[in-house]
C-alpha cells in the first residue's frame, strides 16, 4: 500500500502542482425554472470555487459541477434545503487523474521512429518535457536532460510533415499570448504544390478542423493527431477522401489553445481558458469560444474575468482567436469549418447567440442527421444534434456563429464522448474509438461540402 501512495505522489509531482483530492463532480437534476434560477445563483458564487462542466441552462439538461472538497458540505446543504436532486458522478476527481497520468507514464520514454509508431491510444504533452525522480519525502521530480523525453504532439506534426513532403506542410498562423506558435497542418494534393514550397492555399477551397480550443478537453487534441494520420494514410486508398483532397485542401489545427494546453500538463489539469492576464483582476484567461465577433457580449457569456465563460474585453482580444479570424478572412475560400470540443455527444450548428434560425438550417439539420447516423453506425454511440441554442444552451461570441456569418455555410461544432461518466477525463482507451466514429461524421460533412459547392 505504501508503494501505491508513493506512486500516486509521483503522478502529482510530474503532471501538475494543483491536486483535486476530495473534489467531487455532482450531476444535478433541475425540474423547474425555480431550480434553474437557484443553480444559476449558485454558479455566480465565486467564493465556493465551483467549476460547472455543464451550465444550468434548461430543465431538460442535467447540470454537472466540480465541487472542491472544502465546499462540498455547503453545496450539499444548499441542494438539500431547496430539494434539488443530485447524484455523485465522480466520487474523487484525483482518483481519475491518477489513473490518467499512470497511463501516460506507461509510455514515457518511448520514441517512435515514425508516425506509424506513435501511440494514438495515449494522451500526449504539447511540448517535450524531461523528468527524473529525486528521492525525498515529497517524491519530487525535476527536469533532467539525460532522462527520456515524453514524445509530444508538436514532434508528431513535424514528423508527419517530414514523412510527406509536398503533401503535408505546417503553417504558423500566429502566436499565442505566451509566444507559442499556432501551428496548422495543411494537407494538399501533391500536384497543386511546388515541392518544398507551400502557399496558404488561397487558390483552392479549404476545409478547416480545429481541436483543443478548450485546453482541458484532451480527447479532442488526441483525436486531432489520429485524424491527421488517417488523412495521410487513406489518401490514394479511400476513393471518397482522395476525391475530396483532389479538390480541397484540409487545414487541421490540433492545439488551438497551446498556452492553456501546456498549463493543463504543468499546473492545472482542469484549465479551460487562454492564459492571457486580465488587467485589474487576479483571474487569468478568456474563454476562446466566447471571444468571437458574433453576438459578442450577449447572453451566454460572462463579463467576469473569474468565470470559465469570460468573454474577454472585446471581440478577438485573444491572439488564438484573432489568428484564425485573420487566416480565414485572408484565405477567403474555406467552405466547411468544424470546431471539436468535448463532452456531451452532440453535433451542433449555428446559431448560439440568437433564436433566429440561420438561413441554411434545414440543410444543416439534415446533414447533421446524416453525420450522426454515420457516427453511431460504428459503436452505436448516440448523439443529439441541432442548433446550439436549442440543443445545448445560449452562447454568444462562439466560433461557428462567426464562421457562418462569414459565409462558411457548413459550420459545425462537435461535443465528443462521453455524456458524463468521465466528463473531461475520458480514459485513454476511448481515444481511438472516439476518433474513429467522429471521422465517419467528418467524412459525411466533407463529402456533402464537395458534392454541394457554393
User: What is the sign of the dihedral through the CA atoms of 106, 110, 116 and 118?
Assistant: positive
Q: What is the pTM of this model?
A: 0.90
The band of 9, judged by pLDDT with boundaries at 50, 70 and 90, is very low
To the query of whether residue 415 is one of the catalytic residues in this protein, the response is: yes
State CA 394 to chain mean position distance.
19
Instruction: Give the C-alpha distances (Å, rounded to integers) separating 18 from 53, 71, 99, 268, 282.
Output: 18, 17, 16, 5, 17
- Show the domains of the chain with their CATH numbers: 22-91 (3.30.70.340), 154-451 (3.40.630.10)
Question: Is the separation of the CB atoms in 334 and 385 below 8 Å?
Answer: no
Residue 2 backbone phi and psi in degrees, to 5: -60, -40
Give the Cα separation of 64 and 90 in Å (integer). 10
Instruction: Give the C-alpha distances (Å, rounded to integers) separating 417 from 145, 157, 204, 435.
Output: 37, 24, 33, 10
What's the mean per-residue pLDDT of the chain? 90
Question: Is the separation of the CB atoms in 281 and 306 below 8 Å?
Answer: yes
The neighbour count for residue 420, using CB atoms within 10 Å, is: 16
DSSP string, 324-369: HHHHHHHH--EEEEEEEEESS-EEEES-SS-SSPPTTHHHHHHHHH
Give the Cα separation of 382 and 419 in Å (integer). 10
* Catalytic residue, candidates 55, 217, 415, 437: 415
Give the Cα separation of 44 and 157 in Å (integer). 40
Task: Convert the pLDDT of each residue in 199-239 to its tens digit.
Answer: 444 479 999 999 999 999 999 999 999 999 999 999 999 99
Give the Cα separation of 54 and 424 in Å (integer). 11
Give the Cα separation of 233 and 236 in Å (integer). 8
The pLDDT value given to residue 190: 61
Task: Convert the pLDDT of each residue in 29-69 to its tens digit.
Answer: 999 999 999 999 999 898 999 999 999 988 988 999 999 99
Percent of the chain surpassing pLDDT 70: 88
Q: Which of 283, 253, 249, 289 is nearest to 268 (CA)?
A: 283
Amino acid at each position: 500500500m505504501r508503494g501505491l501512495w508513493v506512486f500516486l505522489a509521483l503522478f502529482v509531482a510530474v503532471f501538475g502542482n494543483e491536486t483535486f483530492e476530495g473534489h467531487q463532480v455532482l450531476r444535478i437534476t433541475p425540474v423547474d425554472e425555480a431550480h434553474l434560477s437557484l443553480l444559476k445563483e449558485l454558479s455566480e458564487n465565486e467564493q465556493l470555487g465551483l467549476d460547472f462542466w455543464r451550465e444550468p441552462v434548461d430543465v431538460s439538461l442535467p447540470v454537472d459541477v466540480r465541487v472542491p472538497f472544502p465546499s462540498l458540505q455547503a453545496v450539499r446543504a444548499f441542494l438539500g434545503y431547496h430539494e434539488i436532486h443530485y447524484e455523485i458522478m465522480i466520487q474523487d476527481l484525483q482518483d481519475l487523474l491518477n489513473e490518467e497520468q499512470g497511463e501516460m507514464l506507461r509510455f514515457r520514454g518511448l520514441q517512435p521512429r515514425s508516425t506509424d509508431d506513435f501511440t494514438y491510444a495515449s494522451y500526449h504533452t504539447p511540448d517535450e518535457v524531461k523528468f527524473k525522480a529525486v528521492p525525498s519525502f515529497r517524491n519530487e521530480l525535476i527536469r533532467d536532460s539525460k532522462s527520456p523525453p515524453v514524445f509530444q504532439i508538436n514532434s508528431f506534426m513535424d514528423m508527419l510533415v517530414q514523412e510527406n513532403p509536398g503533401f503535408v506542410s505546417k503553417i504558423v498562423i500566429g502566436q499565442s499570448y505566451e509566444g507559442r506558435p499556432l501551428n496548422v497542418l495543411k494537407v494538399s494534393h501533391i500536384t497543386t504544390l511546388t515541392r518544398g514550397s507551400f502557399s496558404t492555399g488561397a487558390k483552392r477551397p479549404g476545409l478547416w478542423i480545429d481541436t483543443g480550443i478548450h485546453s482541458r478537453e484532451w480527447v479532442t487534441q488526441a483525436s486531432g493527431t489520429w485524424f491527421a494520420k488517417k488523412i495521410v494514410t487513406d489518401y490514394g486508398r479511400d476513393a471518397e477522401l482522395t476525391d475530396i483532397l483532389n479538390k480541397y485542401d484540409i487545414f487541421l489545427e490540433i492545439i488551438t489553445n497551446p498556452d492553456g494546453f501546456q498549463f493543463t500538463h504543468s499546473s492545472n489539469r482542469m484549465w479551460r481558458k487562454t492564459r492571457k492576464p486580465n488587467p485589474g483582476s487576479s483571474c487569468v484567461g478568456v474563454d476562446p469560444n466566447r471571444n468571437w465577433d458574433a453576438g459578442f457580449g450577449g447572453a451566454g457569456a460572462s463579463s467576469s474575468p473569474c468565470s470559465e465563460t469570460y468573454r474577454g474585453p472585446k471581440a478577438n482580444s485573444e491572439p488564438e482567436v484573432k489568428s484564425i479570424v485573420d487566416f480565414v478572412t485572408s484565405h477567403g475560400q474555406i467552405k466547411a469549418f468544424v470546431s471539436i470540443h468535448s463532452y456531451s455527444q452532440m453535433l451542433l450548428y449555428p446559431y448560439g447567440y440568437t433564436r433566429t434560425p440561420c438561413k441554411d438550417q434545414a440543410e444543416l439539420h439534415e446533414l447533421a442527421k446524416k453525420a450522426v447516423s454515420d457516427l453511431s453506425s460504428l459503436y452505436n454511440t448516440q448523439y443529439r444534434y441541432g442548433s446550439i441554442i436549442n440543443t445545448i444552451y445560449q452562447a454568444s461570441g462562439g466560433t461557428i456563429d462567426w464562421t457562418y456569418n462569414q459565409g462558411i455555410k457548413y459550420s459545425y461544432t462537435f461535443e465528443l464522448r462521453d455524456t458524463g461518466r468521465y466528463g473531461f477525463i475520458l480514459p485513454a482507451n476511448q481515444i481511438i474509438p472516439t476518433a474513429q466514429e467522429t471521422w465517419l461524421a467528418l467524412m459525411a460533412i466533407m463529402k456533402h461540402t464537395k458534392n454541394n459547392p457554393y
